[in-house]
Amino acid sequence: MNHPTFAAPVSSALPLGERQLKAFIDATLRFFERITQEPAEIGDASIHLDRLPVLDFTGLIQISGSCTGFIYVTLPREMLAKMLASIGESQPDDEACRDFAGEIANTVSGNAREIFGSQFDISVPAPLDSAAAASLTLQGPSFVLPVNWRGADACIVIALQLQ
Amino acid sequence: MPASLSPFNCNEMSIHLQKSYDRTPEFEALAREAQLQFVEWSIVFALDGLKTGAEIALAFKLSEGRADEIFERLVAKGIIGEYNMGVEDYLQRRQIMALNALAESAGDGRANSTTNGSRVRGQRLEPDFPMVGSLSATISRLRSPKSTVDGTNGKTQVPAASTNGNGNAPKKNRFRLKAATDFIQGHAGGGTLGQLAVYRALMLVPSDLLRETGLRRLDFNDETIEIESPKLRQAIVDAIGKTLQVELPVEYFLE
């Protein structure tokens, strides 16, 4: 049996390092706590090789450069309604949920610009409803991290491919 | 040991440098509390029960006095201990030394054979630094698949080769994806960081090869996914190599 030999400690041979991606996820998770004063919990991550997961509302940014693709947060209506309620919106309708998804997209965009900004072009953030988000496609794998907040699950999705 | 490997005069060499050492059974517990210098930790993790103190000292470019001092300190702390080998270990060591000698005589820089924690290139014994990630992950990596220190008697256990009824080892040809993803996670620090490293590695695997498997989703705890395609196996191992900057063959993951 040949054992592996290490040429160097873990390095960033790829354009995006896992530490950068982790920093982005952590920053996005902090959004939940900042807005609602209640932290979200992360679930078991998975890698999707087929369809991108899409819930009722999605806040998305597109990335281009040495990697292209999307980074987004997709949330169920139930969670958005609870989040809005926690900040005083008692009867949130779809319009309010969509606007709030836009807020989340802004946060995602701000975090992405801060963490990956020098390496990539980052699009204007966009809120999408489920029909629009369902048309998103990607050839490669996507990293899906469930985020639980007050019993409802959203997902942070990193769907990038190398150019 | 080839004379070219050692700058020391063996007759005058410290007792510490003539012996082989390994981490003690108490290492895991002690390591969590111990405060050591960087070079001391490096030595602790480079030990494999095979290399002598002199070889370690040479690999880390330490003087005899300095190396002796470090070994003495580590032994006194109970972190490392003298390694007494059984016949199986002796035979394994002899085989590895023969491979090392072969690599040295080839001397082309590419001929390198691993010795569970170091590799020989030409005449140089280079230490590896496999301590990326959490202590637990590192410890678990150190334990497997190399020989392990038994917690009851402190002796090194060489994993017994399983055999079929004819006394021949069965051919390994099973490539579980989880073995590969665990490897990546272990070296990238585990947790979400490790999972993201797996994702980064899979980004490097041609997507048509991945799609050919019919796989739609990879859960990190899924033990059942096996990779049949030799091309995909190689692509995954290549991707791991690029992601972690590690050299390893497909065979490493075969079960």
pLDDT along chain B (255 residues), means of 10: 35 61 80 82 79 78 80 86 69 62 48 34 32 45 40 36 49 87 86 90 90 88 91 93 84 87
A148 occurs within a structural domain: yes
Distance CA A88, CA A84 (A): 6
Nearest-by-Cβ selection for B196 from A3, A22, A46 = A22
Cβ(B239)–Cβ(A4) below 8 Å: no
Q: What angle do CA B137, B241, B203 make, to 5 degrees?
A: 95
Which chain B residues have any C-beta within 8 angstroms of a chain A C-beta? 112, 114, 116, 119, 128-130, 132, 145-146, 187-188, 192-200, 202-204, 207, 210-211, 215-221, 242-249, 251-252
Provide φ and ψ at A95, rounded to 5°.
-60, -45
Question: Residue A101's domain is classified under what CATH number?
Answer: 3.40.1550.10
Distance CA A83, CA B2 (A): 70
Token digits for A100?
Answer: 């709030």
Cβ(A102)–Cβ(A75) below 8 Å: no
The residue with greater pLDDT, B59 or A80, is: A80
**Per-residue pLDDT, A4:** 47
**Per-residue pLDDT, B67:** 84
Show residues of chain B in contact with A49, CB under 8 Å.
210-211, 215-218
- Domains identified in chain A, total number: 1
Contact at CB, A25 and B192, closer than 8 angstroms: yes
Cβ(A161)–Cβ(A140) below 8 Å: yes
Q: What is the pLDDT of residues A95-115, one digit of tens each?
A: 888 888 888 888 888 888 888
Distance CA B202, CA B208 (A): 12
A154 occurs within a structural domain: yes
At residue A65, the 3 state secondary structure works out as strand
Distance CA B112, CA A74 (A): 49
Contact at CB, B217 and A19, closer than 8 angstroms: no
**Per-residue pLDDT, B123:** 30
A10 occurs within a structural domain: no
**Per-residue pLDDT, A67:** 84
Q: Is pLDDT of A29 > 70?
A: yes
Provide φ and ψ at A7, rounded to 5°.
-80, -30
For CA atoms B126, B127, B128, B132, give the dihedral sign.
negative
Measured between CA atoms, the residue of chain B closest to residue A5 is B247
Contact at CB, A2 and B199, closer than 8 angstroms: no
The one-letter code for the residue type at B252 is Y
Distance CA B119, CA B137 (A): 21
A1 occurs within a structural domain: no
How many angstroms separate the CA of residue B145 from the nearest CA in chain A? 8
Q: Is pLDDT of A156 > 60?
A: yes
A2 occurs within a structural domain: no
Nearest-by-Cβ selection for B217 from A9, A46, A160 = A46
A54 occurs within a structural domain: yes
**Per-residue pLDDT, B16:** 64
**Per-residue pLDDT, A47:** 95
Contact at CB, A47 and B200, closer than 8 angstroms: no
Note down the domain range covering A148.
Answer: 18-162
Choose among B102, B103, B97: nearest CA to B115.
Answer: B97
Nearest-by-Cβ selection for A13 from B217, B218, B243 = B243
Cβ(B243)–Cβ(B183) below 8 Å: no
User: What residues contact residue B244 under an 8 Å CB cut-off, 6+ apart?
Assistant: A6, A10, B184, B187, B188, B197, B201
pLDDT band at A154; cut points 50, 70, 90: very high
Q: Is pLDDT of A41 > 80?
A: yes
Show residues of chain A in contact with B147, CB under 8 Å.
none
Q: Using CB atoms within 10 A of its CB, is residue B255 exposed (0-12), middle (13-18) or buried (19+)?
A: exposed
A5 occurs within a structural domain: no
**Per-residue pLDDT, B63:** 77
Contact at CB, A45 and B192, closer than 8 angstroms: yes
A11 occurs within a structural domain: no
**Per-residue pLDDT, B60:** 77
**Per-residue pLDDT, B104:** 52
**Per-residue pLDDT, B152:** 38
